């Protein structure tokens, strides 16, 4: 019986024998119990457990920092390289979107993936001539299913919850895109009926955002944000 084992994948750390500090490696930690792999070597389990705990802490902190960096590093991109975005990448964006929270877990979102030039051109026209939409290799149109939300929450579901839920999904798309090295822009300025007609969206489903996606051909500067002291109230407004 293995007294102590831990399955943990780390890109540059491994433990062998009685080593209790990180060493350069591109292997996964398959087990912390070196006695399981090297029965002739004595292992200081206390040191190993401490090492594992520290590595887990560092990994978690790194992931948290990665999330915060994505939130602050994301930019609205309106110029794209002439480079295709794979189906695999697009699927990752949709997968991230579908993990957003939603009222009652109704998940009222629908996603339309657009690659055809003629459809992208019509979307750009509907979006008041924002030509960068047409220039992006792929466009994701995010819709809110008002009917789906209203079945669970009536008028409030139709007029508020489905919009809130879809907005959360949209933010996930932007953050996931940034993590994948892609650029996006949240476009909300468009004539809904034109977009609806172009995309053949049925009544009861509302287009909420047009998101051009591609590899950035620009690096916009960080824009200012209102300080926390101006936006936080305590106890009452």
C-alpha torsion angle, residues 221, 143, 107, 164 (rounded to 10): 50
Average pLDDT over residues 182-208: 98
41 and 18 Cβ atoms separated by less than 8 Å = yes
Q: How far apart, in whole angstroms, are the C-alpha atoms of residue 194 and residue 163? A: 20
pLDDT at 50 (0 to 100): 77
Average pLDDT over residues 122-145: 98
Q: In b/e form, how buried is each residue of 188-220, taking b as 16+ CB within 10 angstroms?
A: eebeeeebbebbebeeebbbbbbbbbbbbeeee
Average pLDDT over residues 114-125: 98
Confidence of residue 58 (pLDDT cuts 50, 70, 90): low
103 and 152 Cβ atoms separated by less than 8 Å = yes
Structure tokens belonging to residue 75: 């930019």
Q: How far apart, in whole angstroms, are the C-alpha atoms of residue 208 and residue 124? A: 15
Q: How far apart, in whole angstroms, are the C-alpha atoms of residue 33 and residue 177? A: 38
Neighbouring CB atoms inside 10 A of 15's CB total: 27
Average pLDDT over residues 82-91: 98
pLDDT cut 90: percent of the chain above it = 72
Confidence of residue 76 (pLDDT cuts 50, 70, 90): very high
pTM of the model: 0.76
Average pLDDT over residues 136-162: 98
Which one is predicted more confidently, 27 or 60?
60
Tell me which H or E stretch contains 138: strand 138-145
Q: Does residue 167 carry a pLDDT above 50? A: yes
Q: Which domains does the chain have, with CATH numbers?
A: 1-73 (no CATH), 87-214 (3.40.109.10)
Confidence of residue 56 (pLDDT cuts 50, 70, 90): confident
pLDDT at 33 (0 to 100): 45
Structure tokens belonging to residue 208: 């909420």
């Amino acid at each position: 019986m293995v007294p102590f084992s831990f399955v943990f994948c780390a890109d540059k750390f491994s433990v062998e024998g009685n080593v209790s500090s990180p060493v350069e490696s591109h292997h996964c930690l398959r087990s912390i119990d070196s006695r399981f792999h090297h029965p002739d070597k004595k292992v200081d389990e206390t040191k190993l457990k401490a090492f594992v705990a520290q590595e887990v802490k560092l990994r978690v902190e790194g992931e948290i920092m990665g999330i915060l960096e994505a939130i602050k590093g994301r930019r609205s991109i309106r110029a794209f390289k002439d480079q295709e975005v794979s189906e695999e990448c697009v699927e990752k964006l949709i997968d991230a979107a579908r993990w957003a929270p939603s009222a009652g877990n109704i998940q009222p979102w629908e996603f339309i993936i657009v690659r055809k030039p003629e459809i992208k051109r019509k979307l750009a026209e509907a979006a008041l001539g924002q030509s960068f939409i047409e220039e992006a290799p792929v466009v994701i149109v995010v819709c809110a299913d008002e009917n789906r939300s209203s079945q669970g929450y009536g008028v409030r579901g139709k007029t508020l919850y489905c919009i809130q839920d879809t907005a959360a999904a949209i933010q996930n798309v932007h953050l996931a895109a940034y993590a994948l090295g892609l650029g996006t822009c949240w476009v909300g300025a468009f004539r809904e009926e034109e977009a609806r007609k172009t995309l053949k969206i049925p009544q009861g489903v509302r287009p909420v955002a047009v998101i051009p996606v591609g590899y950035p051909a620009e690096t916009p500067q960080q824009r200012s944000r209102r300080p926390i002291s101006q936006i936080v109230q305590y106890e009452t407004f």
